[in-house]
């Protein structure tokens, strides 16, 4: 039996529409109710539903502080529909939630919410026998594209996607990761060398005459080492990769290892996005797990330099990225250098997880715990 889902677009949360994408709910039509201040948000979410071939409409409603017109509107909707209705009250403000719950109880309409932390379903009224039971999880149907689209954000490009290997670059990332463990100071010097290029894609500065660095660079296959120890880059993207981008790739590969045991549905590195106002931003690593977004800022600056820290601006940037467009993503800083005590305190205050220095040798365990959390 197909159903018609109704939700209030009071907050731009994926939980409003993820049940509509869950095939067990058998949703064919979606109506998003929004007052004038939330119409734009509702249209973003409606576009995701339409991409999933759901008949979706956005219906204006009076402001929430006028409950009686909203109560009347809800009763009119359920009285004139062809399909049986179900209310998703996730994200509804207290007034809308109370009114819809009252209508649901009085008119035999099933109503539920999705726990924003665990992604579990909790029935509030008349749970149907043929729908997921209480405490059942919503299916993980979102992609990174559809998650960002909920907030009106579009993905422009990315360098590497989950389960889409690029053998040479993946191997090169592993080589440089091993180098960073034994000789982090050489990574810092490599960053500086790769920051200045000639028109011929040659570095202006030479690399240090260090056998470990020379051996690692040769193993990557991404550059030629000239007689004067300058580098000639063989690929257009090699500068960014050798200058620190490899760390993002390596982190994404660690996420891939966990994909079989955690509900990781999508992930990517070097993700460039565009906001509705045409402003661009970039994420180093983004992970979609159990319909929640996790973002990682990957830093190779100050590698091997004691007491230099990670930079407070890095933490403020990460905090800003995790709430971009109204998102509520979890944030982590992965850094070759250790944070100062002040930076560690700031990160804790901003609820930013940090894995740094020698901790990176156990990064899979840290990522597993971080992605498996169910309370935010």
Minimal CA–CA distance to 176: which of 245, 257, 256, 267? Answer: 245
86: Cα separation from own chain's centroid: 28
Residue corresponding to tokens 């509702």: 42
Pair 30, 52: CB distance under 8 Å: no
| CATH 3.40.50.10770 matches 3-141 | yes
Show me where the domains of the chain are located: 3-141, 142-376
Q: What is the pLDDT of residue 20?
A: 97
Phi, psi of 293 (to 5 degrees): -100, 135
Q: What is the pLDDT of residue 82?
A: 87
Over residues 155-164, mean pLDDT: 95
Q: What is the pLDDT of residue 63?
A: 80
Q: What is the pLDDT of residue 304?
A: 59
Range with the poorest average pLDDT among 94-103, 131-140, 149-158, 321-330: 131-140
297 pLDDT tier (thresholds 50, 70, 90): very high
Over residues 277-305, mean pLDDT: 92
Rounded Cα gap, residues 339 and 337, in angstroms: 7
Pair 141, 117: CB distance under 8 Å: no
Architecture of the 142-376 domain: 3-Layer(aba) Sandwich (3.40)
Q: For residue range 8-52, list pLDDT tens digits in order.
A: 999 879 999 999 999 999 999 999 999 999 999 999 999 999 999
Residue 35's beta-bridge partner residues? Answer: none
- Give Cβ neighbours of residue 54 (< 8 Å, ≥ 6 apart): 20, 27, 28, 29, 30
Task: Write the burial class of residue 127 (CB in 10 Å: 0-12 exposed, 13-18 middle, 19+ buried).
Answer: middle
Question: Would the pTM of this model clear 0.75, i.e. be above it?
Answer: yes
pLDDT value at 272 more than 90: yes
């Amino acid at each position: 039996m197909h159903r018609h889902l109704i939700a209030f677009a009071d907050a731009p949360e994926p939980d409003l529409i993820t049940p509509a994408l869950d095939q067990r709910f058998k949703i064919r039509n979606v109506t998003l109710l929004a007052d004038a201040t939330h119409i734009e948000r509702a249209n973003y979410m409606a576009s995701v539903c339409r991409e999933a071939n759901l008949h979706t409409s956005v219906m204006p409603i009076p402001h929430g502080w006028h409950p009686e017109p909203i109560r009347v509107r809800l009763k009119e909707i359920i009285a004139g529909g062809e399909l049986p209705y179900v209310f998703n009250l996730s994200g509804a403000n207290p007034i809308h939630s109370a009114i819809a719950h009252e209508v649901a109880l009085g008119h035999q309409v099933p109503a539920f919410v999705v726990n924003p932390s665990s992604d579990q379903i909790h029935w509030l009224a008349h749970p149907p026998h043929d729908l997921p039971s209480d405490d059942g999880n919503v299916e993980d149907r979102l992609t990174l594209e559809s998650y960002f689209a909920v907030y009106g954000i579009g993905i422009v490009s990315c360098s590497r996607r989950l389960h889409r290997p690029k053998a040479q670059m993946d191997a090169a990332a592993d080589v440089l990761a091993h180098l960073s463990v034994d000789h982090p100071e050489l990574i810092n010097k490599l960053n500086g060398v790769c920051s200045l290029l000639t028109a011929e894609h040659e570095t202006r500065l030479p690399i240090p005459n260090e056998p470990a660095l020379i051996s690692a660079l040769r193993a990557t296959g991404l550059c030629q080492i000239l007689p004067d120890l300058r580098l000639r880059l063989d690929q257009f993207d090699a500068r960014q990769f050798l200058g620190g981008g490899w760390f993002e790739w390596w982190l994404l590969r660690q996420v891939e290892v966990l994909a079989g045991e955690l509900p990781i549905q999508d992930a990517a590195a070097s993700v460039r996005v565009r906001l509705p106002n045409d402003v661009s931003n970039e994420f180093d690593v983004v992970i979609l797990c159990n319909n929640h977004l996790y973002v990682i800022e990957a830093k190779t600056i100050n590698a091997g330099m004691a007491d230099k820290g990670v930079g407070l601006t890095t933490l403020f940037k990460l905090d800003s990225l995790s709430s971009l467009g109204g998102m509520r993503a979890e944030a982590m800083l992965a850094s070759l250098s250790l944070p100062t005590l002040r930076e560690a305190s700031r990160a804790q205050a901003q609820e930013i997880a940090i894995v740094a220095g020698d901790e990176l040798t156990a990064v899979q365990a840290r990522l597993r715990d971080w992605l498996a959390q169910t309370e935010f």
